[in-house]
Structure 1
């Protein structure tokens, strides 16, 4: 009998989670209720799916409001009615015009819906001209007035709004409203709040209030007679676009033809094994109804190739031969013996995952193409939630607390005697509101292409990205069998594409480079050498400290080894303890005997260790005797999505039952296999997914092996990868690059390469304007290089602030004039005007000779250059070791190349901090792994256990001196820190005048000793 209930998806208004609302309704004796969030249907699919667990029927609807002012409640009679209200709401959500308060303007009168019941709130003395499908909502507070005035309730319905359940909910509601209105709680208008009596009453009590009005009760029952349904069963028909072309027969013919063409492209010889695999896949794809899904993905990558866009297809779909032949992926499942059942089987009802990565520069055009090419397209949403720490700040502001006190609350440094009633309230309600949805955002990559109208499932809103977006996330989309297409972006592909362009422009290319020729790349000796030495800085997925160390421990030197390493590095494998087991069994063959015979037989390539996601299916199917459908359910459940669902718990129980009672495994072995499987399954890659990553890694390694400078420039222009730009500049130096700071005569907006000279781009300069950079480049291209400082000022319109940046970074070094002199000149020549230079066509006519000023002779030191570079680029081209203020002459620092001579000994090392990784012990204590470069540019790795990490914490970027024990593990050397000090940096010479002679001598010594950094 409730026609207007809210969950907390009535954003910044409601307080009840969907599950809590359903639970309260069941406890109150309710059998049917309408969930009608304010201008939102995010909860609709979830409550409809979960209602059966509470013996409830749920009708999805919408409470249409402008701000908090209720206009009408819409209750659909069927799915067509649900589509109607979604279609009506959509233009208002997408409309850029807003009324005061940021709420879309919705007319007070509902349109003439065909399959929707409309309820208007009762207004005293109001007159109503109601259509047959329209009603008046009567709240309990209206009943006394109605009795006195004897109002006709022939079209009345019970309108007991439900927004909260108790005083705490109501308080949280008021706080949410204050946050939404960005006001103090004390100044929140009552008109911006709900009413405290908007609670869910026991059904008997609610009906008793209206017992004198049987027509109202009957109308309410009539309004709630809805047939909105979605098929949540496992055998439900997918709701994606059913046909790529005009018919299923046409689609099948096209798929077969494309596969035949792909055979010619992919294989020199088509073996019977390939033919049998293809027939099996096509037959299964056809039976599952996924032909259009494959063809749509084929269409997307076909367009990408037509535009010259680089892409990588990955995900479980990379296990598919059909995907390989359609060029969705570059992974050969025959070569890698990829497990077909992980990709698709008759028991797996979802289509395979295709994650297609594009360059971050190309992804927007790919999204545009998809929206223009197909009908019924939308992005998938995500729910951004209130987080505990951010809520402390928000609620602190709502209560008017001082910023200092809020900061102390967040950091946990507020002393016990400083706590007040307000700070207690802030903490209490921050915990309570934590996890509530705050606003809708867009999924990082998900796009749905539906057979029916998108509004059949949801209204759509228009985020800044500019494409319609549904009001539910990917999990709810899958519940109604809408499977997303993942279009992602990554900088690694941009690096590959840009590197090839730079190679060609720089004249390095000897012949056409086919970066997709994996058969050739897999045999390349330089790549094998780089893998053995873990020389992978800048290369996709293999450059992190942990990955480089793993490559060395596993002695990886080929494609298959890299595929395994790409999955072994995932958190789950390490958490299960199987990473170390895999390393041991790889390096020590005698350890392979420790594997259980069944597991060794299932996974001989990885010595009985579960490394890939499909290993979960193998173990469940062969080791535990589950069906393929149950095995896939187990795999999906371990991802965390279904962990709480009853069906996953049933699979877990059957796993143990089968292993012990049918397969004869011991309880201990069964529990251990389950533990390993459970701990890693949610994080492991499918083998095809790992293989796809390895393809891109190989392409990156090839470019770095043969064209290191071009590749590092491309890396810098794509804003790096795992590390800061500084390291990639350093890596370019190590490969013979001559690095120059930005120059007005050489540099472009992006970093550029001329021979071995690398000119850093204007894009790296903090606070430097893009338009100014474009003017410099345009003027230089039109009229040649600049001949003097005055020539530059005459030809480029620039502000004093912008030219100061150029001078400080030494962009006018071609003039031979020192920076201090140029700064004085700039101030004299630009301080009295905005320097609005006439356009090029009129320049000669208006050109005025600039006066020359007599400026005393000034000097500029390299130390000043170094500090200017750090301020403007965030790094210096000088060695960080040159900037150390003091030396510890009593300490003998061991270089990284000699650590193998000091195993189990205590030594001092010194390095420039590149990266630190925070992690936790099993006991929850914080510890760190450090990655440094020593004075020769070689890598140093350190480990800082909790006690040392607390006593000697990292203190930001800089040079550190570390004392510790050298430990060796499969050829990798690590310093177990016992003491760590950060070296003091010399004083900034731009703010100090005095330099004693002794310091100068030390600087000269350091210049000679570490000249490699220059």
Structure 2
């Protein structure tokens, strides 16, 4: 029987249009006994490698293609109402040359021709036609449009042009069968007539957008989500047509009048033979010194590094250096180490703070070459966890940089290797369970509250283990119950299940950067970051662009805020104390640092802050960097249960014991407690006889919680313990049970050592250079008013005053103000003021630096420009307190128009040539005469600060109510959140409210209440709201009683009573 081959299919990489997931599509093709299948997503090649791999795995020939958009004129022309017109064309790669041309065409479409859609033109097609087969396209193709217009002469001209471009043997008339869709019948008849008249072969396609007929509603919903409409308004395909993945039998029935069109699908598939080489590592072209190999250069680099670190006479270091170099050499990885070492050399020479995380810190070669600053011998970090003779995967250094300077390292890579050889890696956002439910509810015309109510019943997933709707049904009885009894909820959930996991958008990976030895377009299609017209990203994601796919060198350049904080803090110390600090050489036995941690003063620290971690640190009273590393590793779901015993053993309250005598060899520093993922690996090797080859499979099974692999490894481990260590089955099972908490959550030891190091560095700076460090933290957190409030509270506890902005002492960011008589202070920066642009801040500071401080209001006005200092910015300066030195806020605000008039008069004087910009020629303006008025009330003053700075600075409204709150027996919010399930009473100010209408038509409110310690969401149900609706206005000070609840994964107070103390509304 003739096989029908799908040559025009859209996977879910046809963003928010295709619904078919690649694995499902390929499996269905196999189920239907199709020997080949094509992929032709809209204008991009996002899913090509996944598709190719899935086809090969399932014994199906992959036919790689793209449905491209042809510009109406040139791809470079982008004139409104003219160039938004475009045509569809289906292109398929015959061979590797065709695949390469698809990459180049797709890249050009995005980088050169993008205008509403990624477009190419016929000029490009002529240049890149080799190895391609063209199908004339759907009715939206150029041929289809000519037919629809009734211009058959134009239709024939279109055909001849494409035959000339691709060659007559490589051009087919694409025909479909969707009789319910407007114009299809006429289009189909015309194609058959043209085929017979011009002797051009027809080829049948389905233009599949989903897999099964019952997916049609889900697909329509997906399109409604894309177009921000609901399915009642969506006219996709005129609401008609079937676009599922048809079988050969269906195709033969649909095209029974033209069976040759079905036969031609198989003939085309036979002609398409793309063979990709995947999994072969491709390193950047690193410039070697004349006459030297990469191996020799790495040997020299590490030898010099050993001398520089004073380790060149240590026989243990030399032995391990030689061993690691041999493994690296045999695997041809020396170029990779040189590339990474060079990038980090640039960063450090540029004083960009950096660290490396992950198992790479277990490499002595990395330490000696300057890649890491963690000595793996000192911390007993195994090289083999990173790289060993048996491990097939390539080494992968994860590099962290100060987030405000990360781009500098990327730009360096572009300069060194060529801008066309470096790009950030694209990534795909998918529809997750909760989001899919909300989207489906909206797209099917349901009220927001309906989707939100169902979505909130879905438990939150965890990192690496996203929650699915099916799994949520198993975990949450109420969700299952609502599914079974509520038809509306069932419809939403059924559609959402089909949509979850579907690609929603493309964006930039947070860290991934790829470097190639030749222009990237030789390997991977690229495009612009959707949020930038200059930043280029790959269309293949981190998995398909790297070792699992085409093999390019993938590097992680992650921006870390805490490194920027350290860098800024060190700079501030130099600026204000004239003290140089080398953060990599600070002592790791500083008593002041450990004393601070033992007291739980962790706000603003890396990895060590937060209520739970702080509690454990206070109990632990750490004394060494090893304690810090252990806490970083243990404070994770699962291993967290070992913290109490770790603390007890460290403090001598519990005896140090080992589950087997051999365990002391690798668990001595952790008091016999399993802390790191490496501890599990050494347990398996020492007790069960694994080696570095087999233990890698054990690691993956435990780390990824793969049930089948776990069962297999469980059996191997238990039997191995019996034969290798003489343990009983019961003893082996007891040890295996110790691994359970680490499934999916274990930190490797090298990673903990790297993060522990940075955590300690932040603690050291806070303990020894408090004002500078906290100033750096405030600058880094600018924009997050909630976090700023927490940091200011910590500053107040530490005795560091935080002052409002001041026109004479504020700079752009938070600033340390030296004070000879009392403690140093921190001053708000000008950029923290809402409605004050960067241009105003720059002008104010530049003028102040050039001429000197502003002496009074007249001087400030005299030296300002109206085009910079407008009404909005001047009002912001007054209200936030930046001009307090020149007069009371309300008086200045009352005289605002008078002040602005003076600014404009001064501007006219400058323009007339009577004076210059800085007022050093010509007469000064007469003194300002301000009309007196009453001072601003304290509450209004505080509200101005909240409006413009995001928080109360000079005071807090609650300070006036502390005694009354105390009499009400309220619990501080920071303490209340630890009482899940308990009834508590809190007092605070309402900062935000959201009213909704329930299904029964009654209003309820979600409100945010904050006190001096924290904030919490308060849920006010209709019966409570109706008793006292006036209490729930923003800025009201209330006392609320209710039960703490975390059903949705976020703590809330379910309010049952409220009392109003005051209202600032």
TM-score class, shorter: 0.7 to 0.9
Per mean C-alpha deviation after superposition, the further-off stretch among 136-145 and 558-567 is 136-145
Alpha-carbon distance in structure 1 between the residues aligned to 2:735 and 2:489 = 48
What's 1:630 paired with?
A: 694
Alpha-carbon distance in structure 2 between the residues aligned to 1:265 and 1:671 = 48
Mark the CA change 1:588 to 1:716 in structure 2 (over 3 Å): closer, same or farther.
same
What's 2:422 paired with?
A: 377
What's 1:926 paired with?
A: none
Does residue 702 in structure 1 map to residue 764 in structure 2?
A: yes
Alpha-carbon distance in structure 2 between the residues aligned to 1:253 and 1:446 = 29
In the alignment, is the contact (CA less than 8 A) between 1:358 and 1:489 conserved in 2?
yes
In the alignment, is the contact (CA less than 8 A) between 2:255 and 2:262 conserved in 1?
no
Mark the CA change 1:251 to 1:25 in structure 2 (over 3 Å): closer, same or farther.
same
Per mean C-alpha deviation after superposition, the further-off stretch among 255-264 and 829-838 is 829-838
| Matched pairs, number | 927
Q: CA deviation at 1:71?
A: 3.0
In the alignment, is the contact (CA less than 8 A) between 1:242 and 1:451 conserved in 2?
yes
In the alignment, is the contact (CA less than 8 A) between 1:960 and 1:981 conserved in 2?
no
Mark the CA change 1:960 to 1:396 in structure 2 (over 3 Å): closer, same or farther.
closer
In the alignment, is the contact (CA less than 8 A) between 1:386 and 1:437 conserved in 2?
yes
Work out which of the residue numbers 83, 86, 105 in structure 2 matches 1:88.
105
String of CA shifts for 1:178-209, please: whole Å, max 9, x gaps. Answer: 33344454554556889414532236854994
What's 1:970 paired with?
A: none
What's 2:896 paired with?
A: 826
What's 2:373 paired with?
A: 330
Q: CA deviation at 1:119?
A: 2.5
Mark the CA change 1:527 to 1:158 in structure 2 (over 3 Å): closer, same or farther.
same
Alpha-carbon distance in structure 2 between the residues aligned to 1:416 and 1:371 = 55
Alpha-carbon distance in structure 2 between the residues aligned to 1:367 and 1:595 = 48
Mark the CA change 1:155 to 1:940 in structure 2 (over 3 Å): closer, same or farther.
closer
Does residue 201 in structure 1 map to residue 247 in structure 2?
A: yes
Does residue 868 in structure 1 map to residue 944 in structure 2?
A: yes
Work out which of the residue numbers 509, 512, 515 in structure 1 matches 2:578.
509
Normalised TM-score (structure 2)? 0.77
Mark the CA change 1:559 to 1:981 in structure 2 (over 3 Å): closer, same or farther.
farther
Normalised TM-score (structure 1)? 0.81
Alpha-carbon distance in structure 2 between the residues aligned to 1:550 and 1:808 = 43
Alpha-carbon distance in structure 2 between the residues aligned to 1:591 and 1:562 = 21
In the alignment, is the contact (CA less than 8 A) between 1:314 and 1:689 conserved in 2?
yes
Alpha-carbon distance in structure 1 between the residues aligned to 2:970 and 2:237 = 70
In the alignment, is the contact (CA less than 8 A) between 1:886 and 1:984 conserved in 2?
no
Structure 2 portions without partners, runs of 5+: 71-83, 138-142, 178-186, 458-477, 819-823, 974-981, 991-1007, 1019-1023, 1025-1031, 1043-1052
Mark the CA change 1:409 to 1:331 in structure 2 (over 3 Å): closer, same or farther.
closer
Does residue 498 in structure 1 map to residue 544 in structure 2?
A: no
1:349-748 equivalences under 5 Å are: 349-375=392-418, 376-391=421-436, 394-395=439-440, 398=443, 428-451=494-517, 453-463=519-529, 464-465=531-532, 466-476=534-544, 477-480=546-549, 481-506=551-576, 508-510=577-579, 512-518=580-586, 521-574=587-640, 577-588=641-652, 590-593=654-657, 595-640=659-704, 643=706, 651=713, 654-655=716-717, 658-659=720-721, 673-674=735-736, 676-677=738-739, 679-719=741-781, 724-748=787-811
Per mean C-alpha deviation after superposition, the further-off stretch among 741-750 and 459-468 is 459-468
Q: CA deviation at 1:609?
A: 2.8
What's 2:1028 paired with?
A: none
String of CA shifts for 1:597-625, please: whole Å, max 9, x gaps. Answer: 45444433223433222223223333343
Per mean C-alpha deviation after superposition, the further-off stretch among 799-808 and 836-845 is 836-845
Per mean C-alpha deviation after superposition, the further-off stretch among 684-693 and 650-659 is 650-659
SS of equivalent to 2:377? helix
Mark the CA change 1:663 to 1:62 in structure 2 (over 3 Å): closer, same or farther.
farther
Does residue 162 in structure 1 map to residue 216 in structure 2?
A: no
Alpha-carbon distance in structure 2 between the residues aligned to 1:434 and 1:345 = 38
Per mean C-alpha deviation after superposition, the further-off stretch among 832-841 and 170-179 is 832-841
What's 2:14 paired with?
A: 10
What's 2:73 paired with?
A: none
In the alignment, is the contact (CA less than 8 A) between 1:7 and 1:15 conserved in 2?
yes
What's 1:997 paired with?
A: none
Work out which of the residue numbers 785, 802, 806 in structure 1 matches 2:873.
802
Work out which of the residue numbers 961, 964, 988 in structure 2 matches 1:884.
961
Structure 1 portions without partners, runs of 5+: 897-905, 915-929, 945-949, 965-976, 992-1014
In the alignment, is the contact (CA less than 8 A) between 1:29 and 1:203 conserved in 2?
no
In the alignment, is the contact (CA less than 8 A) between 2:703 and 2:742 conserved in 1?
no
- RMSD value over aligned CA atoms? 4.5
1:772-783 equivalences under 5 Å are: 772-783=840-851
Mark the CA change 1:265 to 1:360 in structure 2 (over 3 Å): closer, same or farther.
same
String of CA shifts for 1:269-288, please: whole Å, max 9, x gaps. Answer: 63111111101111111112
Alpha-carbon distance in structure 1 between the residues aligned to 2:986 and 2:265 = 81
In the alignment, is the contact (CA less than 8 A) between 1:60 and 1:76 conserved in 2?
yes
Q: CA deviation at 1:308?
A: 1.9
In the alignment, is the contact (CA less than 8 A) between 1:77 and 1:228 conserved in 2?
yes
String of CA shifts for 1:9-58, please: whole Å, max 9, x gaps. Answer: 11111111111101211111101112222222222222322334433222
Q: CA deviation at 1:383?
A: 1.0
Does residue 841 in structure 1 map to residue 856 in structure 2?
A: no
Mark the CA change 1:137 to 1:588 in structure 2 (over 3 Å): closer, same or farther.
farther
Alpha-carbon distance in structure 1 between the residues aligned to 2:1057 and 2:658 = 44
Alpha-carbon distance in structure 2 between the residues aligned to 1:941 and 1:8 = 41
Q: CA deviation at 1:317?
A: 0.6
Does residue 46 in structure 1 map to residue 117 in structure 2?
A: no
What's 1:57 paired with?
A: 61
What's 1:921 paired with?
A: none
Q: CA deviation at 1:503?
A: 1.8
Mark the CA change 1:490 to 1:261 in structure 2 (over 3 Å): closer, same or farther.
same
